[in-house]
With several copies, the nearest count.
Chain A
Amino acid sequence: MPGLEDLYREIILDHHRNPRNRGELAPPASHAVGHNPLCGDEIDVYLDVTDGIITDVKVGGQGCSISQSSASMMSQAVKGKPVDEVRALVRRFKGMMSIPDEDGNPIEPDPAVKLGDLEALQGVVKFPVRIKCATLAWNTLLEALEQG
């Protein structure tokens, strides 16, 4: 079994303790709620999208350290970014989480897309049950984008 230090990196615990971009955005901001049916965690993602740019993002809800820190890092990573770039980032992140693409094939990492701090979540892949925790915020982000 891989050690817990692979999972609970310091930067993750930091985002867990001090989550960034917590809060809500009022309509017309788009809003999606994601559920992790395994553990009952819920995440709210609020987005302001103007001219194809995510101008603001807020995160609400409750969850474990992995889902909370992933959501916090996600919010930092997407704020101010064009939607296209964000979609590429989601893809890259899912690839890191060993999630296959639509056709069930592995996602090749696109070197143009930078993960930055998000690399710290790499260790989650060794704990397959926690992958759903790490991706919850990202799937909810995609849903919020659909509405935008």
Chain B
Amino acid sequence: MTHSSLDIAAVKAQFPLLQRELNGSPLVYLDSANTSQKPRTVIDAMTQFMEHSYAPINRSAYQLAAEATDQFEGARTKVRRFINARRDHEVVFTKNATESLNLVAYSWGRANLAAGDVVVLTEMEHHANIVPWHMLVQEKGIELRWVPLTDDGQLDLTDLSTLLDGAKAFSFTAMSNVLGTITPVQQLCAAAHAAGAIAIVDGCQYVPHNITDVQAWDADFLAFSSHKLCGPSGIGVLWGREELLDAMPPFLGGGNMIADVRFDGFTTAPLPAKFEAGTPPITEAVGLGAALDFLNGLGMANVRQHEMDVAAYAISTLTERFGDDIQLHGPCNVEVRGATFSFAFRGIHPHDLSQVLDQRNVCVRAGHHCAKPLMRRLGVNATARASFYVYNDTHDVDVLADALDSATDIFGF
């Protein structure tokens, strides 16, 4: 069925956890939009680092510390290349994408937004790209505007220029974690800039699955997490345009982010240290670097092609097998979507559905996916969501379909 250039069996073999059997049958992990599994090379890089090279970074002068610093800063360079940023020091390590977005809202937002200023979001944002702005509504009285959705779950850009009129920032996801929709990032950045707004891209779901090029996009900020792209938990990234980061006040205060501290005040260090207060996720940065090496080894173009194939197969299989009994949210055209599917099935509550699928070792998420406004827009409380990654193939789609069938036996009413 697929013409992918990836050998998925070989890829899957590199993920120890996916070799696990639960109750005698293999695991079909379809929750990568939530968090991804880790390949051997990432686990080994972290273990090796802790066994051989762990040391403080950027602080101590001895050789071991210099080695550790090299590995840590080497990871920064890998991130910079992966997203095609201009400068290493535009890459700030955070704890997760949520912190990255909060950093922008707290630091850029507090310095640049006042009562009545407009920030534009979309109706498909994750809570991480909503709540930090709600806080500025409460605190500063800014105004939020929302880009609406079309019925097939794409952004409805009809009134975009009106929405952006007078806006200071446009913050949007590059790919929906619920609908799978990929948004036209370059066009949205251009529209933001035309209106005099900065463009903040939530790349959590996009960066793990596609070639990312912040310069081609002409974006101003990009936030994403390591744990969704085969890397460890505990580390995220904020990339920002140098001029913006330079002009922003600091966010967290403490060690490493200062040039000087006196009893009566402090001055900040240059980028990226300015935004990296305290001891960073050292081992995690090394793991993130290994994850990017792993993905580069597969080739991000291949990853994207593979996921388009799986998405196409999933759409045809599920609709052919279940017809009107299944409702897939989001677009059907795989050119504008990734392999993340939210769906409703025969009126069975998603929570019950995921319980039944779990009985067959099929791991899907049920819930609001941290996108309650979108749920309201879709008119549901929750959806079931199956999300596919580099270690999933069309066979996993078939297993999912079989498991769905079994749900009807219990809830067949």
Binding site for B on A (CB under 8 A): 1, 3-4, 7-8, 13, 17, 35, 37-42, 62-68, 104, 127-130, 133
Contact = CB atoms under 8 A, between A and B. Distances in A.
Given A39-B366, A128-B66, A129-B66, A64 B375 contact: no
Interface in B251-278: 256, 258-260, 269, 273
A71 to B, nearest CB: 13
B381 A62 contact: yes
Interface stretch (B32-40, B191-199, B348-356): B348-356
Contact of A64 (B259, B260, B349, B410): B349
A42 B410 contact: no
B355 A4 contact: yes
B304 interface: no
A7 to B, nearest CB: 7
Contacts of A133: 351
Given A37-B259, A129-B66, A4 B351 contact: no
B356 to A, nearest CB: 7
Contacts, number: 75
Give 9 nearest A-B pairs by CB, closest first: A40-B368, A64-B351, A64-B349, A39-B367, A40-B382, A129-B61, A62-B381, A40-B381, A35-B259
A4 B381 contact: no
Given A65-B349, A129-B66, A41 B382 contact: yes
Contact of B63 (A1, A64, A67, A68): A1
A63 B355 contact: no
A17 B367 contact: no
Given A17-B413, A129-B66, A40 B375 contact: yes
A66 B410 CA distance: 13
Given A38-B367, A129-B65, A1 B355 contact: no
B278 to A, nearest CB: 14
B395 interface: no
B259 A4 contact: no
Contacts of B61: 38-39, 129-130
Interface residues of B, number: 36
8 contacts: A13-B410, A38-B58, A39-B61, A40-B381, A40-B382, A104-B87, A129-B69, A130-B355
B359 interface: yes
A1 B410 contact: no
Given A13-B413, A65-B411, 6 more contacts: A35-B260, A40-B375, A62-B381, A64-B351, A104-B87, A127-B355
A8 B411 CA distance: 9
B98 to A, nearest CB: 15
Given A35-B259, A39-B61, A4 B382 contact: no
B138 interface: no
A92 to B, nearest CB: 23
Contact of B351 (A41, A42, A128): A41
Contacts of B375: 40
A40 B349 contact: no
A39 B58 CA distance: 10
A7 B61 CA distance: 14
Contact of A66 (B58, B69, B258, B351): B351
A104 B411 CA distance: 36
Given A17-B413, A37-B259, A64 B352 contact: yes
B376 to A, nearest CB: 10
Nearest to B61: A129
B23 interface: yes
B353 to A, nearest CB: 9
Contact of B273 (A3, A37, A62, A127): A37
B341 to A, nearest CB: 18
A3 B381 CA distance: 27
A47 B334 CA distance: 50
A67 B355 CA distance: 14
B351 A39 contact: yes
A99 B350 CA distance: 25
Contacts of A128: 66, 70
A45 B260 CA distance: 17
B63 A42 contact: no
Given A38-B367, A39-B366, A65 B259 contact: no
A67 B382 CA distance: 14
B286 to A, nearest CB: 18
